[in-house]
Structure 1
Amino acid sequence: MEREIDVIKETFEKIKNMEIRGAGRIGRAAANALKTYALKIQDLNDEEFKIRMKKAGELLVSARPTAVSLPNAVKFVLKGLEDENPKIGVVKRAEEFINSSLKAIENIGKFGANRIRDGDTILTHCNSEAAISVIKTAYDEGKEIKVFCTETRPRNQGYITAKTLYDYGIDTTLIVDSAVRYFIREIDIVVVGADAITANGCLVNKIGTSQIALVANESRVPFLTAAETYKFHPKTIVGELIEIEERDPSEVVVFEGKYKGIKIRNPAFDVTPSKYIDAIITEVGLIPPQGAWYIIEKYFGWLK
């Protein structure tokens, strides 16, 4: 039975090492791994099946501590263990999560594109499926737009975004992270993704996001974040804090003799206060940051 769990271990490693990146992709990868694993261990009795699935879920969740899409996806899928037939329930819910996640990206694109005007220059940060969907949808609607993408050090996810948008036919410019304030006068709107949204409407996203929000606020440039409802963090409603992941210093600099003794910090995310966010684009529409509480109550049932 050890070989069957390889799909879980492989997905765990890919998420941890950022071969699979982006909150939506991470959630779907976890759901797909649980589905595949469930199908491989169908011959177990129900009790043993439940034990194995729960252990698999715990391993996956431990891969990345900040992206709430991961535990929310696992929790959603494993809710199927409560069905009369848990083996069918888990597979069904995994498929449901994957399909609804993809549909959410499409709907976010449609809602968010309504905030993009013809002739706008958009600034985005990191590599977000949801933010890219907004930009692509606006372009598909015939709007003449330009996009500035940050490099997004140290993993340079902005290069992926820039190439994706350029290949789609959109006028795209790549800039270093520290040039945001220099170019902000050319920007009409900021659209970024999200790794988590807290109960009080704060945004947890790739490191550097909060600085962009601050600059946008100073310059009176609207700042929007695109977030599927499963990125809202239910436990923050009862005061739990989101752990900010710190990654290996080698991502920042390759250690050689001349750097010996220098301390290097590498936080992967930061927190943007809700007061700097004009709207959160979700698959159910645009909401103000103050509406995060409602999303958590409605979709996660914390107050029922």
Structure 2
Amino acid sequence: MQQLLDTAEKIRTMEIRGAGRIAEAASAALRDYVLDLKVTNIKDFNKKVDEAANILIQTRPTAVSLPNAVQITKRHTSEDVAGAREDILHNADVFLKQAGEALERMGKIGAKRIHDGDVIMTHCNSHAALSVISTAFKQGKDISVIATESRPRRQGFITIRELNDYGIPTTLIVDSAVRYCMKEVDTVIVGADAITVNGALVNKVGTSQLAHAAHEARKNVLSVAETFKFSPNTILGDMIDIEERAADEVIDQEILAELPNVKVKNPAFDITPAEYIDMIITEVGAFPPQMAYTIIKEHLGWELSHMG
């Protein structure tokens, strides 16, 4: 259990960050926990697995990749512990293999949308988005990138380092310069923490204003997302919780203590309407956001009639 708790803490504190990486870490943690779980009764086994799953799921409320990965991993129909354990270990191995392959497939699919000479703007740090950008660059396309700082955690600093290591010409901008710099951009490419049934995009805070500026300037906006980032629960009308993070990510507590009339609001994500998104790139193809329900139904296998 300690190893699983350690992984949960790393997810909660953003030592492990990014929706895809969170999903993979959670699946692997649950697999390792089940491997060492020493119970003989199937009811006790299921109870322990559910408890472990809930610990992982509660670490980050917004990224649906996390509960989706956990649900996919823990799913089994066995009536005995040995069979259940084998099913879960198999589920995890398949999920992790497919997650790794998804990045490569999304890169190849998304790179077709990038043209020689394009300037690409990206936000935060998304392995999915970077897969598309780096694949296009490896194909010999002459591209450059404008990357935002992505405050307050400045995940953009991770992005520019990775782009630099690829050899891709990159410009770092402050978040508030997005609209000013949009005139130089051909395509906006971002990742996703969740996609709702109506095709709305939940991603790092600031994504919606970037997409709005792109829409205003008639620039294409692509979101790159594995199918496990689509949210089945939104079919039933559930809202995705927007995580509020600690004030000390924004301002030192000592300074805030001197300002009794000031409070800090620090949402980690925002919601971009589907009409601002031109295409969602997944490992199974490129789709308009209006096809989100089809993705949920056919690739997650969770239909409205099967949800309670």
Q: Which amino acid aligns with 2:207?
A: T
Structure 1 residue aligned with 2:192: 194
- Give 3-state SS (helix, strand or coil) of 1:18's partner: coil
Q: Following superposition of structure 1 onto structure 2, how do residues 41-52 of structure 1 map, counting pairs within 5 Å?
A: 41-42=37-38, 44-52=40-48
Instruction: From 173, 181, 184, give the equivalent of 1:183.
Output: 181
Instruction: From 49, 53, 59, give the equivalent of 1:53.
Output: 49
Q: Is residue 24 of structure 2 the alignment partner of residue 28 of structure 1?
A: yes
Judge conservation of contact 1:149–1:172 (CA < 8 Å) in 2: yes
CA distance in 1 between counterparts of 2:200 and 2:225 reads: 12
Structure 2 residue aligned with 1:281: 281
Q: Following superposition of structure 1 onto structure 2, how do residues 203-282 of structure 1 map, counting pairs within 5 Å?
A: 203-256=201-254, 257-282=257-282
Summarize deviations over 1:140-191 as a string: whole Å, max 9, x none.
1000100011000000001001100111110011110001111111111000
CA distance in 1 between counterparts of 2:77 and 2:277 reads: 38
Q: Is residue 297 of structure 2 the alignment partner of residue 302 of structure 1?
A: no
Summarize deviations over 1:52-79 as a string: whole Å, max 9, x none.
1111001110000000000000000110
CA distance in 1 between counterparts of 2:78 and 2:187 reads: 45
- Give 3-state SS (helix, strand or coil) of 2:76's partner: helix
Segment drifting more, 189-198 vs 260-269: 260-269
Query: How much has 1:11 moved relative to structure 2?
Result: 1.0
Structure 2 residue aligned with 1:159: 157
- Give 3-state SS (helix, strand or coil) of 1:259's partner: coil
Paired-residue identity, % = 52
Q: Which amino acid aligns with 1:66?
A: T
Judge conservation of contact 1:209–1:270 (CA < 8 Å) in 2: yes
CA RMSD of aligned residues (A): 1.3
Q: Is residue 98 of structure 2 the alignment partner of residue 97 of structure 1?
A: no
CA distance in 2 between counterparts of 1:223 and 1:119 reads: 17
Q: Which amino acid aligns with 2:87?
A: G
Give the TM-score, by structure 1 length.
0.96
CA distance in 2 between counterparts of 1:258 and 1:20 reads: 33
Judge conservation of contact 1:8–1:37 (CA < 8 Å) in 2: yes
Structure 2 unpaired stretches of 5+: none
Query: How much has 1:301 moved relative to structure 2?
Result: 3.1
Query: How much has 1:207 moved relative to structure 2?
Result: 0.1
- Give 3-state SS (helix, strand or coil) of 1:170's partner: coil
Query: How much has 1:18 moved relative to structure 2?
Result: 0.4
Segment drifting more, 38-47 vs 113-122: 38-47
Structure 1 unpaired stretches of 5+: none
Judge conservation of contact 2:236–2:304 (CA < 8 Å) in 1: no
Judge conservation of contact 1:123–1:191 (CA < 8 Å) in 2: yes
Query: How much has 1:80 moved relative to structure 2?
Result: 2.9
Structure 2 residue aligned with 1:72: 68
Structure 2 residue aligned with 1:293: 293
Judge conservation of contact 2:125–2:156 (CA < 8 Å) in 1: yes
Judge conservation of contact 2:146–2:171 (CA < 8 Å) in 1: yes
CA distance in 1 between counterparts of 2:270 and 2:39 reads: 44
Query: How much has 1:51 moved relative to structure 2?
Result: 1.5
Give the TM-score, by structure 2 length.
0.95
Query: How much has 1:43 moved relative to structure 2?
Result: 5.3
- Give 3-state SS (helix, strand or coil) of 2:142's partner: coil
CA distance in 1 between counterparts of 2:164 and 2:156 reads: 12
Judge conservation of contact 1:281–1:287 (CA < 8 Å) in 2: yes
Q: Which amino acid aligns with 2:289?
A: P
CA distance in 2 between counterparts of 1:166 and 1:135 reads: 12
Query: How much has 1:261 moved relative to structure 2?
Result: 3.3
CA distance in 2 between counterparts of 1:46 and 1:249 reads: 44
CA distance in 2 between counterparts of 1:82 and 1:292 reads: 32
Judge conservation of contact 1:81–1:87 (CA < 8 Å) in 2: no
